[in-house]
Amino acid sequence: MIEIANSEMTTFEKFKKAGNPMFNDNKLKLGIFGPNVNQSCSMSLAETSFAPDFNTNVQIAKMMEDAGYECIVPVARWRGFGGPSNFNGVCMETLSWSAAMAAVTKDIYLFCTAHLPAIHPIVASKMISTIDNISGGRIGLNTVMGWFEREMTMFGEEKRTEDRYEFATEWLEVAIKMWTEQFFDYKGKFFNIKDGWQAPKPIQDPRPVLINAGSSKKGREFAAKYTDFHFSFIESMEQAKDWTDSMKKLAWEEYRKEINTFTTCFVVCRPTEKEAQEYYNYFVREKGDDEVTDMITRLFNLESATQSAEYNQKFRENFIAGWGGYALVGTPEQIADKLINISKAGVSGTLVTFHDYMKEMPYFNETVLPLLEQAGVRNPVIKKD
């Protein structure tokens, strides 16, 4: 096992000193989720100018850099979910996507999302180190184990259950050793590495930023021990605060390390509340892909008989609108207030999603971000030459 070493400077302090955008002075970090897959995060058949292609992703990234966003987190998918939209069936693979995006961006932090059972840690660590060099130290890793069984069986793998985080622990320990050590041997249940070695090493010190979204007890323990950000969904500000406090307590008391939290929200921002609600009704209630939503809610066992019909319907609509993200529907002022409250709950940041990034993000940037600056949760963007 990798020991958590005591040092004069913590991992977070090293990231901050190096100017890593994920550790800047903004109290509320902002990113986007899933620009590399069709429909992004909305299970809707409503028309959109968004396309999961490289040129569109570059345009979105440029808008983000101009507005001072911190990061992009792509979705890793190997097949779609079916239904009329074949939701997420078109997907640019995230490691090659990150390399391409690194070459055409300057400031944004790029995460690659990797299904650990689908790629050997030596291969992944080498690719990430290469991308880190291309980007000048702007690549992170989102570790996922794979929950969609039809994807895993494509690789001849069963969906891991009991040993999923035992596997993830060995995988990540091998990758970290590849990034940080010169020569090493590693013998575990799943990996047997002899004379491991890699060059180039990552530019980032001590390593690329790590995030994980494990929600089970073992998943949260894995995230608390090894990663820098725990990603999860929020239902209320009280729940967001409890989640953040519990993760920070777990990481510190058990492993003497720091961890931050990150969530996701879907955005419908319009000049009036009436306009926002009308568009929400259209793209979610009228044009939602009910077939794929039925399948995904069954996969996650989301609709519970113990909950009210109203609760189940709202939960379902959140999945159609933005993969279960927290709802930001309303005027710029209403949306800014909700984002400020997320920050006050202690959450480090949120990924935002839009049904149509090209049409909706500019208005959000022009109207909501200045309000966040006025509230002191984000700093004004300093334009670079």
Listed in order, strand segments (DSSP E) in 106-183 are 109-115, 139-144
Chain-centre distance for alpha carbon 127? 19
Range of the domain at 266: 11-374
- Range with the lowest mean pLDDT among 33-47, 143-157, 284-298, 300-314? 300-314
Which tokens in the block code for residue 232? Answer: 């999860």
For the cut 50, the answer to whether the pLDDT of residue 118 exceeds it is yes
Question: What pLDDT digit, counting tens, does each position of 122-145 carry?
Answer: 999 999 999 999 999 999 999 998
The pLDDT confidence band at residue 382, using thresholds 50, 70 and 90, is: confident
Characterize 92-106 residue by residue with b for buried, 16 or more Cβ atoms within 10 angstroms of its Cβ, and e for exposed: bebbebbbbbbeebe
pLDDT of residue 149: 77
Best CA proximity match to 15, nearest among 197, 259, 217, 188? 259
Task: Assess contact for 292 and 230: CB atoms under 8 A.
Answer: no
How far is residue 151's CA from residue 78's CA, in Å, rounded to a whole number? 6
The CA distances from residue 333 to 38, 273, 364, in Å, are 30, 10, 11
Name the least confident of 48-62, 140-154, 170-184, 203-217: 140-154
Higher pLDDT, 229 or 311: 229
Is 381 within a domain?
no
Per-residue model confidence as pLDDT tens digits over 64-77 = 999 999 999 999 99
The helix/strand/coil state of 167 is: helix
Under the banding of pLDDT at 50, 70 and 90, the label for residue 158 is: low
In a domain, 239, yes or no: yes
| Number of domains observed in the structure of the chain | 1
Spatial distance between the Cα atoms of 42 and 257, rounded to a whole number of angstroms: 35
> Mean pLDDT in the chain?
92
Q: Say if CB 374 and CB 69 are below 8 A apart.
A: no
pLDDT exceeds 90 at position 181 = yes
User: CB–CB of 88/77 below 8 Å?
Assistant: yes
Say if residue 306's pLDDT is above 60: no
Q: Is the pLDDT of residue 296 over 90?
A: no
Q: Could you say which DSSP state residue 326 is in?
A: E
- For residue 161, tell me if it sits in a domain: yes
Query: Using CA atoms, how far apart are residues 146 and 165, in angstroms rounded to an integer?
Result: 11
Q: What is the mean pLDDT of residues 10-24?
A: 96
Domain annotation covers residue 5? no
Residue 383: pLDDT over 80: no
Q: Considering the chain, what percentage of its residues have pLDDT values greater than 90?
A: 83
pLDDT at position 50, please? 97
Say whether pLDDT at 350 is over 60.
yes
Q: With H, G, I as helix, E, B as strand and everything else as coil, classify residue 253.
A: helix
**How large a percentage of the chain has pLDDT more than 70?**
93
pLDDT on residue 151: 78
Domain harbouring 299, CATH code: 3.20.20.30
User: Could you identify the residue written with the tokens 């044009």?
Assistant: 287
Q: How confident is the model at residue 1 (pLDDT cuts 50, 70, 90)?
A: very low
Is residue 4 in some structural domain? no
Cis status, amide bond into 206, omega within 30 of 0: yes
Amino acid 2: pLDDT: 44
Confidence of residue 315 (pLDDT cuts 50, 70, 90): confident
Residue 3, in any domain of the structure: no
Virtual CA dihedral for 356, 362, 364, 366, nearest 10 degrees? -170
Instruction: Answer whether residue 298 is part of any domain.
Output: yes
The two structure tokens encoding residue 262: 């990150």
Does residue 197 fall inside a structural domain? yes
- Pairing verdict, β 184-187 and 71-73: unpaired
